[in-house]
Amino acid sequence: MDQAYRALLARHDGEDRWLLLQTLLTGPPRRALYGMIGMPPGGRLLDVGTGFGPLAVELAGATGGTAVGVDVDVDRLRQAVALRDLVRASGWGPAGARAGAGGTSFAAGDATALPFPDGTFDAATIRFVLQYFPEPGATLAEMARVLRPGGAICVIDVEDGMSIVHPEPPAPLARLRAAFAELQRARGGDRNVGRKVPGLLDQAGFTVTAVLVMPQAAYGPSSPSDVDRTFLFDRFSLAADEMVARGLLTEADVRAGLRVLSDDELPPRTTIEGHVAVIGRRRP
């Protein structure tokens, strides 16, 4: 599958390239989860806020089921279709991935008003989406509605309280990171949503069966061409004007932070980034 993400990355020059880089960066912990979600073999899966659709295609492939990926961004959905067709035609990845691509479709729709009747799906996933929402509980309640009783849910999201870098990054980069988190808060999002997901699921009518931390940890030097650096550079660059407009940083601060990412070889460091994955079942 990673070959397909790289192939799409090579020809995709949209400003959301960072999302494909993120898909590559988070492959191993994402795939480690699939056996734990409790999607029945041959079941129907819904992936909300699907982006380029990696969870939809990979999970349908892993379970021999079908998947629908829903997103509000129709341009991105076109890329998701292109990626799915690439996997289907290329012969890349395990046979299951090709079959999963064959069983995956995409639909435009809003997470808070999903375009499906009650009880349509056996399982539902939502990854890296709730962190942008002022009312994540409303989306979880809507996901409960379209799941059958006993249907499985898996929510994966960020929790900045589990983000550790040692030694500390250079000050201009640390300032840029902090301003980016502040921007997400100012837009109504929450980069500490991970710790809140279990309680929100409970309130939305789910029994929480597992709360997992998916750490991505590494030690080594850091070069400008590393995927994690390119990913951060793209994300921060996109948000630069808004950070300045909101008075979170000066233009000079932004330039200094981006320069660290694009120019500096950093000495070996330990990075630990924890994402929270919460699995549950819809109560009858």
User: Among 1-9, 124-132, 217-225, 252-260, which window interacts with ligand SAM (CB under 6 A)?
Assistant: 124-132
**Which positions ≥6 away from 107 have C-beta within 8 Å?**
68, 69, 70, 77, 115
Q: Does 136 bind ligand SAM (CB under 6 A)?
A: no
Which residues share a beta bridge with 154? 125, 279
Q: Specify whether the CB–CB gap between 1 and 24 falls below 8 A.
A: no
Size of the site for ligand SAM (CB under 6 A): 17
Q: Specify whether the CB–CB gap between 27 and 4 falls below 8 A.
A: no
Q: Does 51 bind ligand SAM (CB under 6 A)?
A: yes
Which residue of 8, 111, 258, 276 would you call a contact of ligand SAM, by CB under 6 A?
111
Q: Does 72 bind ligand SAM (CB under 6 A)?
A: yes
Q: Does 180 bind ligand SAM (CB under 6 A)?
A: no
Q: Specify whether the CB–CB gap between 124 and 24 falls below 8 A.
A: no
Letters for 9-38 (x = contact with ligand SAM by CB under 6 A, - = none) are: ----------x---x---------------
User: Among 37-45, 50-58, 83-91, 202-210, which window interacts with ligand SAM (CB under 6 A)?
Assistant: 50-58
Cα within 13 Å of Cα(216), Cβ side: 18
For ligand SAM, the closer CB: 70 or 243: 70
- CA torsion sign, 37 to 43 to 44 to 50? positive
Instruction: Please list, residue by residue across 3-14, b when 16 or more beta carbons sit within 10 angstroms of its beta carbon and e when fewer do.
Output: ebbebbbeebee
For ligand SAM, the closer CB: 109 or 198: 109
Residues making contact with ligand SAM (CB under 6 A):
19, 23, 49-51, 54-55, 71-73, 76, 110-111, 127-129, 132
